[in-house]
Structure 1
Amino acid sequence: MTNHANPEVVVIGAGIIGVTAALALQKQGLRTCILDREGVACATSRGNAGAFAFAEVEPLASPGIMRKAPGWLLDPLGPLSLRPGHAARMLPWLLHFWRATSPARHEAAIAAQAGLMDLSRRALDDLIAQVAGEPLIRREGQLQVYEGRARFEASLPSWEQRRRHGIRFDLLESPGALAEIQPGLSPRFTHAGFTPDWINTVDPAAWTQHLARAFTEAGGRIEIAEVREVRPAQDGVALTTPAGTIRAGHVVVAAGAWSHQIARMLGHRIPLDTERGYNTTFPQASFDLRTHLTFSDHGFVVSRIGEGLRVGGAVELGGLRLPPNYRRADILVRKAAEFLQGLDPRGGTRWMGFRPSLPDSLPVIGRAPGADRVIYAFGHGHLGLTQSAGTAQLVAALVARREPGISLAPFHPQRFDRRRSPGSMQG
């Protein structure tokens, strides 16, 4: 690290969670530094779909999914797949996932997710104003489409969940109603739900970089460094990098899919794995996309990125080491060309990102057990961009030892340890 006074807070990770948290800490008057192995938005925050998906409160682990999962997992190109080379490593994660599908845990996860979504939505409004970010925001809603009445009616419980948590939407039951919002859809899509308050960023990498500039222009530092050790020290935390030791009053671990490796330095085994997501970005739009499109039963979305389009999604449980299977991206593009009249499937750039995923679809947000000056903030799955501003406010409250505004018990780092009682998981 360059020769400056030791920071009051070091944030590990320059993705959307880390950068937004650093901004919130800086706003609180704390001298803050971000460390990252590569730089701002160089991993998952670079290539996601750009959606602030506040309507998505239902976790992947839901009652009944275990009956569907075997068929999905055995299809290497399906919406949910498990790479054979990673299957043995996934067993503990899958066991926790199975436990999270119980009706009681499912309902509790929805309530926790909805609370974090509500906080994040309000925090995003404040953040946009703080950084003059409105030019990077699109407010065009989201259309979630279904093939036929049976598929649509099967989705109604999830829409009712949204209604109970105050999310506005309109249900559409004819191709003509869909066409009024999005012309050019294949007539196979007959029903939909439209969420008018859904918003996107024009480009998730540009949004993260915009926040990073606001941070550095206000005196924050971002440095390229690999963290090799984290340990509690007198009145703070010590971090070891190739350049030496850094001492800070607090450390925030926001390293996305690599966060569990840092948690292990402190003796914690958190069942974090990756939902590997694939997409293809077209620099110019050959289809007039007017809203964010979600093809629920096919596991992918289409969004506007800059002047172009991004087609991406699916969930591949495959860890950090296996090479990408870009056939998954290709099949999504083929489907998009079939579903969107006139879409030209040529000339796109393929990408894969590592979504940091916990079995119950909730992130870890809280103090590291036994090291209360280390704050964990990771595991947001495909909702990192969505929940970044809310998570940042929670991190800032934890560092300042203020009441966070929502209960952090559902996000406790040790919630997967069956030896711990729920009553002990506070703060």
Structure 2
Amino acid sequence: MGLETVFPDDPIDVLIIGAGIVALAAAQKLQAAGRQVALLERGGVAAATSSGNAGALAFSDILPLATSGKIARVPRWLMDPLGPLSIPPGYALRIAPWLLRFWRAGWADRIASSIAAQVAMMGLAEAEMDRMIAESGLGDLIHPDGSLELYESEAEFQDSLPGWTQRTKAGIAFEHVRGAAMADLQPGLSPQFIAGTFVPGWRNVSDPFIFATRLAADVEGRGGIFLQGEASQVFPQESGARVVLTDGRILAAKQVVVAAGAWSRRLTDLLGDYLPLETERGYNTTLPLGSFDLRRQLIFGAHGFVISRLTTGLRVGGAVELGGLDRPPNFKRSAAMLKKAMGFLPGLSAEGGVQWMGFRPSMPDSLPVIGPSRASPHIVYAFGHGHLGLTQSAGTGRLVADLLNGQPPAIDPAPFRPSRFR
């Protein structure tokens, strides 16, 4: 999809900064509510993080990253520079305040409130995703194959049970499987896996980039405008906002949505909202079709990565490198995950893979930032979804539309408010 370089003279009704999956979903929901939208993007539509994710609609993923089990693993993970979690030595001091907030998010009372917020968000996200898929004609891109999380020891399986208890309370269906039942769900697994958990309600998109560009085409078909440019600063005004671009051009808008993912902090700091937005650098390798007979998404929680079946290939990826936006990629991380995947799936062919690195916008409490800037109610934030941008995109879009239209929000937005970090 092309981006226009000629800007409108009149103020834009709603200007969305960004054109990733969250921005596109917000545009679709705003259009459904009767608004005119324009999206400002410095690169290509869905060309950054939204193009390379695992393609999961993970509505059962209600647990924060800072659970006691994961925090206990952090020291061991950090010992392996190519493991599930790494922090480049030169970045450790810079990220220390974020890590402190992450540790505090793991306290029992905070985990309880975080899970409650995620349960509400996931319920909204699933309903709004179903509505968006139907309205935008995307049903052919959805595959309800479920997911299978795998465990290498009885201790690892037992450690997972409190999380599944939380999912039971939230009404999420799952089944613990072993032996032949596990092999039926995914033939060809290494015998090192002694148990698994099957989530039948888990869905995947055919390919996240195709899904996003199809959604973008629908937004454009409804009158949405896609503009080429990079925002450098947003200035609130009495009747809206001005957006100044890096090349000096200026856009006027009645309302603005900052949905620029991991790059959003460069704008929010200048608006006086100092938010602890950090960048999880995620890596993957996409293998050609036919590399393995994968039946559904496989989750290797102890190793921090997944394997997804897409119509464009087999994607092996995940893990977290907390390293900011500016460091060069370390594709040894992609290679390390692929090497593990070959051991987990002995028949996997690793030939012809394409490596990728993307930037996930991550908050220390695992909850996105959705709500107005302290500088102006005409400027609303929608970013910080971590691993759940695709999953929560439509729910976020609904909340953004409610806030900008002055409607009662579909769910309580308080857990996601930007001011929670003041």
> Which category of TM-score, normalised to the shorter sequence, fits these structures?
over 0.9
2:41 aligned with 1:36, yes or no? yes
Q: 1:277 deviation in Å?
A: 0.7
Tell me, yes or no, if the aligned pair for 2:243 and 2:250 is still in contact at 8 Å: yes
Match of 2:287 in 1: 282
Q: 1:66 deviation in Å?
A: 3.7
Following the alignment from structure 2 to structure 1, what is the Cα–Cα distance between the partners of residues 256 and 62? 29
Cα displacement string for residues 363-388 of structure 1 (whole angstroms, at most 9, x for unaligned residues): 00011113111000000000000000
Distance 1:100 1:150, change over 3 A: same
2:379 aligned with 1:369, yes or no? no
Cα displacement string for residues 256-302 of structure 1 (whole angstroms, at most 9, x for unaligned residues): 00011110121111000011110000132221111111011111100
Query: RMSD between aligned alpha carbons?
Result: 1.2
2:348 aligned with 1:343, yes or no? yes
Q: 1:127 deviation in Å?
A: 0.7
Distance 1:64 1:293, change over 3 A: closer
Match of 1:113 in 2: 118
Distance 1:300 1:66, change over 3 A: closer
- Three-state SS of the structure 1 residue aligned to 2:317 is strand
Question: Which residues of structure 1 form unaligned runs of 5+?
Answer: 418-427
Tell me, yes or no, if the aligned pair for 2:275 and 2:418 is still in contact at 8 Å: yes
Q: 1:74 deviation in Å?
A: 2.8
Question: Which residues of structure 2 form unaligned runs of 5+?
Answer: 1-5
Q: How do 1:25-424 and structure 2 match up within 5 A?
A: 25-63=30-68, 65-172=70-177, 174-241=178-245, 242=247, 244-417=249-422
Q: 1:395 deviation in Å?
A: 0.3
Following the alignment from structure 2 to structure 1, what is the Cα–Cα distance between the partners of residues 330 and 268? 29
Following the alignment from structure 2 to structure 1, what is the Cα–Cα distance between the partners of residues 9 and 235? 21
Tell me, yes or no, if the aligned pair for 1:363 and 1:380 is still in contact at 8 Å: yes
Q: 1:177 deviation in Å?
A: 1.1
How many residues are paired up?
416
Distance 1:282 1:65, change over 3 A: closer
Following the alignment from structure 2 to structure 1, what is the Cα–Cα distance between the partners of residues 286 and 235? 41
- Three-state SS of the structure 1 residue aligned to 2:12 is coil
Following the alignment from structure 2 to structure 1, what is the Cα–Cα distance between the partners of residues 230 and 421? 28
Following the alignment from structure 1 to structure 2, what is the Cα–Cα distance between the partners of residues 19 and 65? 32
Tell me, yes or no, if the aligned pair for 1:96 and 1:416 is still in contact at 8 Å: no
Which of 5, 12, 34 is 1:7 aligned to? Answer: 12
Following the alignment from structure 2 to structure 1, what is the Cα–Cα distance between the partners of residues 186 and 256? 46
Tell me, yes or no, if the aligned pair for 1:285 and 1:307 is still in contact at 8 Å: no
Q: 1:93 deviation in Å?
A: 0.5
Tell me, yes or no, if the aligned pair for 2:398 and 2:410 is still in contact at 8 Å: no
Deviant stretches of 4+, over 6 Å: none
Tell me, yes or no, if the aligned pair for 1:143 and 1:292 is still in contact at 8 Å: yes
Following the alignment from structure 1 to structure 2, what is the Cα–Cα distance between the partners of residues 145 and 68? 17
Match of 2:3 in 1: none
- Three-state SS of the structure 1 residue aligned to 2:387 is helix
